[in-house]
Amino acid sequence: MMQYVSTRGESERTTAAGAIKKGLAGDGGLFVPEEIPLLHEDMLTSLCGMTYPQRAAKILYMYLDGEYTEEELLADCEDAYSRKRFPGGPAPIAALGEKLRVLELWHGPTAAFKDMALQIMPKLLSRALVKTGESRTAYILVATSGDTGKAALEGYRDVDGVRITVFYPVDGVSRVQKLQMATQEGTNVSVHSVVGNFDDTQNGVKQIFADPAAAQVLQEKGYFFSSANSINWGRLVPQIVYYLSAYCDLVNDGSIRMGDEINVCVPTGNFGNILAAYFAKKMGLPIHHLVCASNKNHVLTDFFATGVYDRSRPFYTTTSPSMDILISSNLERLLYLTAGAEETVSLMRQLKENGSYRIDEKLRVRLNHRFTGMYCDEDRTAETIRTTYEKYKYLCDTHTAVGLYCAEKYMKEFDGNRVMLSVSTASPYKFAPAVYRDLTGKTFENELDAMQALEELTCVPVPAPLSGIAERRIRFDPEASIAREDMLKTVLAEMN
Ligand SMILES: *Cc1c(COP(=O)(O)O)cnc(C)c1O
């Protein structure tokens, strides 16, 4: 049975169900599998003959074995990744020219890639509660930069044994994202906007998780805290699947031969998605190099270039808000995997106390063998949206554009021979005003008008989850923001 340990020390061991239930380890660290399971080439070949849900069940089983059965996982994956939930398929690939491929991860219920994990994770948690004999209700707290919140609300709504509260930064999410969350249905959900940026909101949630008095009150009321953020292993493990699946699809469509190496470029915020690609590589998937694409908040680009992670810098609100992050929580897992628990504890302490840390030069060089950080500023994001549409008739959103810019730059400067798989993380309609402005130079005050205009301009249909959003009933007023200090109070008040 696969065991999980904390990135801050190996004393706390738990099973997969335990890790998914708890979210964060007791010492403040993140759970990681004790060993990374290895693929054999035969296995990759056999995955190529399977559907996405079958591939997902096989891969999840490698990480969750002993507790979850393969049959359970297959049943859950068949439902989570059904055509009903993903009408365009879970992870289709678009070809841009000879070597560039785009992995579209936004065909789910909320039109952003978070659905890939959050459609399956509630099922894993539900089973984890049963498997661990839990009688309390899981209280899911989410800090979101926009997409996670909606995807978690959709995934967890009306799930037995679970309650969910989502906090988002009032100035850090788009109008459509706000509307999506404000109109959320379900009897076990609530949504709040918080004064400040995403890091403020995320820190607020982290503090609540770490507050022993709060945990005590919860216990008395029959609840316990759990997280749906990408620090939860249950979020990360389903993301490994689509890298293996995409590789199989590239083999099947003749873009590569089995065994050929590819490069992967991921538009990055919290470092979850790209870390999943790293896990796929560690499992033995032929990935040559990983490009970590950032926007104007390029703390990770600097980290990979200099070895210094420095969050004390201006925070910019950009047109790719889901990547406006200065503390990339999942980087801690990479540090653990490459430098060990002791070093991770020390680096995380420095980050907390000084707002920065420096890894040693040997480690930086080692990381650079696998990762290159690149970034794309606002002007280049706009230009990439325009040129990608002109050159390939391919419409992409702002986050995807950041990735595509870095992918093409990497191909030009370092490696034009291998196939580059660049990840597309949101539907262009989720960020329609920016996309429309970048294509035409015209601006819209109202996001919904922009959506319509973009549809008329490009004839690419608005995805079903986003159409008609303005007519839905507002349940959670986006204007009623709370202060960060009041987050815990708000949670406790809702627990009755
Ligand atoms: C969450 C998100 C990202 C960043 O993903 P991480 O796993 O946090 O690095 C990028 N683009 C979109 C659209 C997102 O929703």
Per-residue pLDDT of 26-52, as tens digits, reads 898 999 999 999 998 799 999 999 999
Determine the distance separating the centroid of ligand 1 and the alpha carbon of 238, expressed in angstroms. 15
pLDDT by residue (tens digit) across 392-406?
999 999 999 999 999
Candidate from 399, 422, 427, 466 with most ligand 1 atoms within 8 A of CB, to mutate: 399
Query: 117, exposed or middle or buried, with CB in 10 Å at 0-12, 13-18, 19+?
Result: buried
| Banded pLDDT at 254 (limits 50, 70, 90) | very high
Determine the distance separating the centroid of ligand 1 and the alpha carbon of 318, expressed in angstroms. 14
- 496: pLDDT strictly greater than 70: no
Q: How far are the Cα atoms of 58, 126, 137, 407 from residue 160, in angstroms, in the given order? A: 26, 7, 8, 42
- How many Cβ atoms from other residues are within 10 Å of residue 484's Cβ? 18
Among residues 22, 58, 99, 114, the one annotated as catalytic is: 114
CA gap 4, 152 in Å, rounded = 23
pLDDT by residue (tens digit) across 342-368?
999 999 999 999 999 999 999 999 999
Packing angle, helices 41-48 and 233-252, rounded to 10? 80
What long-range pairs does 450-454 form, CB within 8 A, spacing at least 24?
A: 451/176, 454/395, 454/428, 454/429
**Whose CA is closest to atom 8 on ligand 1?**
270
Q: What percent of the chain has pLDDT over 70?
A: 100
* Ligand 1 atom with the shortest distance to the CA of 425: 13
Determine the distance separating the centroid of ligand 1 and the alpha carbon of 234, expressed in angstroms. 16
> Buried b / exposed e across 121-148, counting CB within 10 Å, b at 16+?
bbbbbbbbbebeeeeebbbbbbbbbbbb
Average the pLDDT over 296-317 and give the result. Answer: 97
Length of the chain: 496
pLDDT by residue (tens digit) across 327-340?
999 999 999 999 99
* Ligand 1 atom with the shortest distance to the CA of 400: 11
Determine the distance separating the centroid of ligand 1 and the alpha carbon of 400, expressed in angstroms. 10
Residue bearing the bigger pLDDT, 496 or 262: 262
* Ligand 1 atom with the shortest distance to the CA of 399: 11
CB 333 within 8 A of CB 30: yes
- Does residue 391 carry a catalytic annotation? no
Candidate from 110, 115, 294, 323 with most ligand 1 atoms within 8 A of CB, to mutate: 323
Residue 452, H or E segment: helix 447-458
Candidate from 116, 153, 270 with most ligand 1 atoms within 8 A of CB, to mutate: 270
pLDDT by residue (tens digit) across 202-242?
899 989 988 999 999 999 999 998 878 778 999 999 999 99
Res 148: pLDDT: 84
Res 202: pLDDT: 87
Q: In what order do the strands lie in the sheet with 162-169?
A: 189-194, 162-169, 137-143, 223-227
Ligand 1 pocket: which residues have CB below 6 Å? 112-114, 147, 230, 267-273, 322-323, 399, 425-426
Query: Which amino acid is it at 110?
Result: T
CB 227 within 8 A of CB 141: yes
Residue 6, H or E segment: strand 3-6
pLDDT by residue (tens digit) across 272-294?
999 999 999 999 999 999 999 99
CA gap 440, 459 in Å, rounded = 15
Rounded to two decimals, the pTM is 0.92
What long-range pairs does 50-58 form, CB within 8 A, spacing at least 24?
A: 50/248, 52/77, 52/81, 52/89, 52/90, 52/91, 52/241, 52/245, 53/77, 53/78, 53/80, 53/81, 53/82, 55/241, 55/244, 55/245, 55/248, 56/80, 56/81, 56/120, 56/238, 56/241, 56/245
Residue 161's nearest CA partner among 118, 131, 204 is 131
* Ligand 1 atom with the shortest distance to the CA of 267: 10
* Ligand 1 atom with the shortest distance to the CA of 271: 9
Mention every residue, 6+ apart, whose C-beta is less than 8 A from residue 118.
Answer: 148, 151, 152, 154, 155, 156, 228, 235
Average the pLDDT over 372-376 and give the result. Answer: 98
Determine the distance separating the centroid of ligand 1 and the alpha carbon of 150, expressed in angstroms. 13
- 494: pLDDT strictly greater than 80: yes
Res 176: pLDDT: 84
Determine the distance separating the centroid of ligand 1 and the alpha carbon of 217, expressed in angstroms. 33
